[in-house]
């Protein structure tokens, strides 16, 4: 189904499938991902918005795949382009005082590192499944915030 | 400094990136180290504040009919394919 259709039908999906996950239904890898995201979001609070955090999560996930799985690499040009979307413009950045610039940079590195470490830990629990999932993800050529090389 | 930020991020993520350039002086190192510690301390202080977005134990999960193997969380706005985060499924369902 095309993404546009999914977007249109999402509200119906919510209504049609109102399942509340039972604890035993949640895969440990998902629970771990959520736990890491909570801490990353806490670190980002007051410095980064949700969209910026999402970009860092996507980038860290892809880097963890590169470190864990064969056949993946980072395309540095794509990485720079994606990272730029999470970063303030030159004008916005220069408008910050030095302390604000250092704070922004430090928090971005911390959040990126938090996601990366979490992803590596998750991957280590079942690298085969992790890499299989990543291979399927890579087939989605238009995946958002893609930094993988083709 | 904005450019330096991009270089540092590239060093963290890109496999072939050159080492980050040395800081201008020890004072700069101290400023950055202080900021990192400050962010960590602030994060620890915020631990008990409301931050429920990613608490999956209390979130509602649903399974998009046309995306086999995908599970998504309503409040977190995140989707997983066979138990692993999927950026594309997250985008398709929530954006």
User: Is A1 in contact with B66 (Cβ distance < 8 A)?
Assistant: yes
- In B, minimum Cα distance to A122 occurs at B84
Residue B70 to chain A, least CA–CA distance (Å)? 11
What are the structural domain ranges in chain A? 27-138
Residue A102 has pLDDT above 70, yes or no: yes
Mean pLDDT score of chain A, rounded to an integer? Answer: 84
In a domain, B10, yes or no: yes
Same domain, B6 and B37: yes
B15 and B40, same domain (yes or no): yes
A38/B71 touch (CB, cutoff 8 Å), yes or no:
no
Q: Is residue B12 part of a domain?
A: yes
- The phi, psi pair for B83, rounded to 5°, reads 85, 5
pLDDT for the residue numbered A58: 94
Q: Give A112's contacts in chain B (Cβ within 8 Å).
A: 9, 12-13
In a domain, B50, yes or no: no
Q: Out of B12, B53, B63, name the one closest to residue A41 (CB).
A: B53
Interface of B with A in 41-80 (CB under 8 A): 42-43, 46-47, 49, 51, 53-57, 59-67, 71, 73-74, 76, 78, 80
Complex prediction ipTM: 0.76
- Residues of chain B short of pLDDT 70, as ranges, are 1-51
Residue B51 lies in a domain: no
| Residues of chain A found within 8 Å of residue B25, distances taken between Cβ atoms | none
Give the span between the Cα atoms of B83 and A125, in whole angstroms: 12
Name which of A6, A29, A43 is nearest B39 (Cβ-Cβ): A43
| Ranges assigned E (strand) in chain A | 19-20
> The whole model's pTM is what?
0.77
Best CA proximity match to B13, nearest among A126, A33, A109: A109
B35 with B62, same domain? Answer: no
The answer, for A140 touching chain B at a CB cutoff of 8 Å, is: yes
Which has more pLDDT, A143 or A112? Answer: A112
Could you list the residue range(s) of the whole structural domain that residue B68 is in? Answer: 56-94
Could you say which of A3, A76, A142 has the minimum Cβ distance to residue B14?
A76
Please, what's the b/e burial string for B36-64 (b: 16 or more CB within 10 A of its CB; e: otherwise)? beebeebbeebeeeeeebbbbeebbbbeb
Question: What pLDDT does residue A65 have?
Answer: 96
Task: Name the pLDDT band for A134 (thresholds 50, 70, 90).
Answer: very high
Instruction: Compute the distance between CA of residue A145 and CA of residue B21 in angstroms, rounded to an integer.
Output: 26
């Amino acid at each position: 189904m095309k993404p546009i259709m999914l977007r249109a039908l999402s509200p119906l999906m919510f209504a049609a499938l109102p399942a509340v996950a039972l604890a035993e239904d949640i895969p440990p890898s998902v629970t771990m991902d959520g736990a890491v995201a909570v801490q990353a979001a806490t670190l980002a609070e007051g410095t980064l918005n949700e969209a910026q955090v999402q970009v860092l999560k996507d980038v860290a996930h892809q880097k963890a795949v590169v470190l864990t799985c064969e056949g993946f690499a980072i395309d540095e040009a794509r990485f720079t382009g994606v990272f730029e979307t999470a970063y303030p413009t030159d004008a916005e950045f220069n408008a910050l005082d030095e302390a604000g610039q250092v704070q922004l940079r430090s928090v971005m590195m911390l959040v990126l590192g938090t996601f990366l470490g979490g992803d590596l830990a998750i991957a280590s629990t079942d690298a085969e499944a992790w890499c299989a999932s990543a291979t399927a993800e890579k087939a989605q050529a238009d995946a958002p915030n893609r930094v993988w090389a083709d | 400094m904005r450019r330096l930020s991009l270089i540092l991020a590239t060093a963290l993520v890109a496999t072939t990136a050159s080492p980050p350039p040395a800081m201008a002086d020890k004072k700069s190192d101290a400023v950055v180290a202080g900021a990192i510690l400050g962010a960590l301390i602030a994060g620890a202080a915020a631990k008990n504040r409301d931050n429920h977005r990613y608490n999956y134990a209390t979130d509602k999960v649903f399974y998009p009919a046309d995306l086999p193997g995908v599970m998504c969380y309503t409040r977190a706005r995140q989707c997983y394919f066979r138990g692993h985060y999927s950026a594309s499924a997250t985008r398709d369902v929530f954006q």
